[in-house]
A and B are shown apart, each in its own frame.
Chain A
Amino acid sequence: MTLPAQIAYPAVLRLSVVVLTAIGCQLVAANAASAQATPAAGEGADAAQFALGQRIYREGIGASGQPVSAVGVAQTALAGKVVACAACHRRSGYGTSEGKFVIRPIIGPALRQEQTAAVLSVRGKARLGPSRRPPYSEALLARAIRSGLDAAGKPLDPAMPRYTLSDAEMKSLAAYLFSLSADSSPGVDQQEIHFATVIQPGVAPGRRRAMLEVMQAFVKDKGGAARREDQRRDAGYLRMYRAYRKWVLHVWQLSGPSETWNAQLEAYYKEQPVFAMIGGLGASSWRPIHEFCERLEIPSVFPQVDLPVVSGPNYYNLYFSKGVVLDGEVLAKFLREQGESGKVLQVYRRDDAGAMAAAAFRAAFEDSSLEDQVLDGTANEAFWRKVYGASPGALVLWVGAADMDGAAPPDRAAAPAMYLSTNLLAGQFPAAVARSGANVRLVYPSDLPPRRETRLLRDKLWLHNKGIPITDEVVQINALFAITVVSDAVGHIMDSFSREYFIERIEHIVGQTAIASVYPSVSLGPEQRFAAKGSSIVQVIDADKKQLKALSGWIVP
Chain B
Amino acid sequence: MNKSVKSLALVLTVQCVAGGALMLPGPGLAHDAKEHAAHMAKAGKADYQRSVGAYSIPDVELIDADGRSVRLRELLATQDTVMMNFIFTTCGAICPVMSKIFSEVPASLGAQADRLRMISVSIDPENDTPAKLKSYAKTYGATARWTFLTGRTEDVKAVQLAFDSYRGDKMNHEPLTLLHPAPDRPWVRIDGFASSEELAREYRKLAQP
Summarize B's interface: helix, strand, loop or mixed: loop
In addition to A86-B92, A87-B92, A101-B94, 11 A-B residue pairs with Cβ atoms within 8 Å of each other are A3-B19, A72-B100, A74-B194, A74-B198, A98-B174, A99-B94, A159-B97, A525-B88, A525-B127, A527-B90, A553-B152
Total contacting residues, chain B, CB less than 8 A:
41
Query: Is there contact, CB below 8 Å, between B22 and A8?
Result: yes
Q: Is B112 an interface residue (CB 8 A)?
A: no
Q: Is B173 an interface residue (CB 8 A)?
A: yes
Query: Is there contact, CB below 8 Å, between A525 and B91?
Result: yes
Q: Which residue of A lies closest to B103 (CB)?
A: A76
Query: Is there contact, CB below 8 Å, between B93 and A96?
Result: yes
Interface range for A: 35 or more
Q: Is B163 an interface residue (CB 8 A)?
A: no
- Known contacts: A75-B43, A557-B129. The answer to whether A525 contacts B124 by CB under 8 A is yes
| Complex contacts, A101 vs chain B, CB 8 Å | 93-94, 174
Using a CB–CB cutoff of 8 Å, the interface residues on chain A facing chain B are 1, 3-4, 7-8, 10-11, 72-78, 82, 86-88, 90, 96-101, 103, 155, 158-159, 507-508, 511-512, 521, 523, 525-528, 533-534, 553, 556-557
- Distance from B22 Cβ to chain A, minimum over Cβ atoms (Å): 6
- Distance from B26 Cβ to chain A, minimum over Cβ atoms (Å): 9
| Complex contacts, A521 vs chain B, CB 8 Å | 126, 153
Q: Which residue of B lies closest to A83 (CB)?
A: B96
Query: Is there contact, CB below 8 Å, between B100 and A158?
Result: no
Query: Is there contact, CB below 8 Å, between A533 and B127?
Result: yes
A-B contact pairs, 6 of them (CB 8 A): A3-B20, A74-B195, A76-B100, A98-B91, A98-B171, A525-B171
Query: Is there contact, CB below 8 Å, between B127 and A528?
Result: yes
The 8 A CB mask of B125-136 against A (1 = contact, 0 = none) is 111010000000
Query: Is there contact, CB below 8 Å, between A512 and B127?
Result: no
Q: Is B6 an interface residue (CB 8 A)?
A: no
- Distance from B137 Cβ to chain A, minimum over Cβ atoms (Å): 15
Inter-chain contact total with CB atoms closer than 8 Å: 114
- Known contacts: A76-B97, A76-B104. The answer to whether A88 contacts B17 by CB under 8 A is no
Q: Which residue of B lies closest to A76 (CB)?
A: B100
Chain B residues 164 to 206 lying within 8 A of chain A, measured CB to CB, are 167, 169-175, 193-196, 198
Chain B residues 67 to 88 lying within 8 A of chain A, measured CB to CB, are 88
The docked-state distance in angstroms from the alpha carbon of A99 to that of B172 is 4
Query: Is there contact, CB below 8 Å, between B91 and A512?
Result: no
Query: Is there contact, CB below 8 Å, between B171 and A72?
Result: no
Q: Which residue of B lies closest to A87 (CB)?
A: B92
Query: Is there contact, CB below 8 Å, between B46 and A98?
Result: no
Chain B residues 99 to 155 lying within 8 A of chain A, measured CB to CB, are 100-101, 104, 124-127, 129, 152-153
| Complex contacts, B175 vs chain A, CB 8 Å | 99
- Distance from A515 Cβ to chain B, minimum over Cβ atoms (Å): 18
| Complex contacts, A10 vs chain B, CB 8 Å | 24
Most buried by B among A72, A101, A155, A525: A525
Most buried by A among B46, B93, B174: B93
Q: Is B18 an interface residue (CB 8 A)?
A: yes
- Distance from B122 Cβ to chain A, minimum over Cβ atoms (Å): 12
